[in-house]
Amino acid sequence: DADVTQTPRNRITKTGKRIMLECSQTKGHDRMYWYRQDPGLGLRLIYYSFDVKDINKGEISDGYSVSRQAQAKFSLSLESAIPNQTALYFCATSEQTGSYNEQFFGPGTRLTVL
Amino acid sequence: GEDVEQSLFLSVREGDSSVINCTYTDSSSTYLYWYKQEPGAGLQLLTYIFSNMDMKQDQRLTVLLNKKDKHLSLRIADTQTGDSAIYFCAESITGFQKLVFGTGTRLLVSP
């Protein structure tokens, strides 16, 4: 079984709709991250959480919100989706160690906003 | 500020060596990483190098780090069609506890 899972894997929605992307992990890691991937732009960090009570904005948090329901679960919401939020979204986890930061990624959610 | 740049595309023939380059701007980087993304999948760590090293070799992979020029490269020897993927470099910076990823290089290996 995969250590980091994301649901749904694909989603098509319309402008203005509320969307939630979910991430679960069985690695027992405290740290969780949400990224979006766009061609030619690489991965950009949306939000990150170092434990259940610690949530931080990344470089592109506008238009997004997150919820850390438990150590194992980290959800990303788009309150009112817009077409330029069409992208591939990844969740990742990592252990709390010094400055070495190996991150483990889920398979991604492809979101299309029409 | 943090900025990591890569060329977008590289095409090689099977059996040749591939060299993927990366430049970064933050001199306080502690670790630098190479991640591989296969089609339809998430990223997986391929290898990493600590900032006080110049070179690291792991089977067909060689990582070179030039701290003076802030340049990182990944050499894949005897490239195979299964190496076709997107390769991302990333840096972790002391005190920031997060990774900054490059733009990704799509490697296409033709038979």
Q: What is the pLDDT of residues A63-85, one digit of tens each?
A: 999 999 999 999 999 999 999 99
Model confidence band, residue B27 (pLDDT cutoffs 50, 70, 90): confident
Identify the three-state secondary structure at position A85: helix
Q: Are strands B18-24 and B4-6 parallel, antiparallel or unpaired?
A: antiparallel
Average pLDDT over residues B51-72: 93
DSSP A3: S
Task: Give chain A's residues under pLDDT 50.
Answer: none
pLDDT for B31 beyond 80: yes
Q: Note the pLDDT of residue A1.
A: 61
Q: Do A101 and B92 touch (CB under 8 A)?
A: yes
Q: Which residue has the higher pLDDT, B30 or B67?
A: B67
Hey, is the C-beta of A63 within 8 angstroms of any chain B C-beta?
Answer: no
Q: Smallest Cβ distance to B98: which of A48, A107, A108?
A: A48
Distance, in Å, from the CA atom of B68 to the CA atom of B54, rounded to the nearest integer, reads 11
Q: Do B97 and A105 touch (CB under 8 A)?
A: no
Q: Note the pLDDT of residue B44.
A: 94
Dihedral angle, C-alpha B86, B5, B22, B38, nearest 10 °? -10
Q: Note the pLDDT of residue B40.
A: 86
Q: Note the pLDDT of residue B94.
A: 67
- Which among A70-74, B40-44, B100-104 has the top mean pLDDT? A70-74
Q: Do A108 and B33 touch (CB under 8 A)?
A: no
Q: Note the pLDDT of residue A111.
A: 97
Which residues of chain A from 71 to 100 reach within 8 Å of chain B, CB to CB?
90, 92, 99-100
Q: How far does the CA of residue B15 sit from the closest CA of chain A (Å)?
A: 27
Average pLDDT over residues B66-86: 95
∠ CA B41-B45-B48, rounded to 5°: 155
What sign results for the dihedral spanned by CA atoms A113, B5, B10, B15?
negative
Q: Do A107 and B40 touch (CB under 8 A)?
A: yes
Distance, in Å, from the CA atom of B32 to the CA atom of A79, rounded to the nearest integer, reads 35
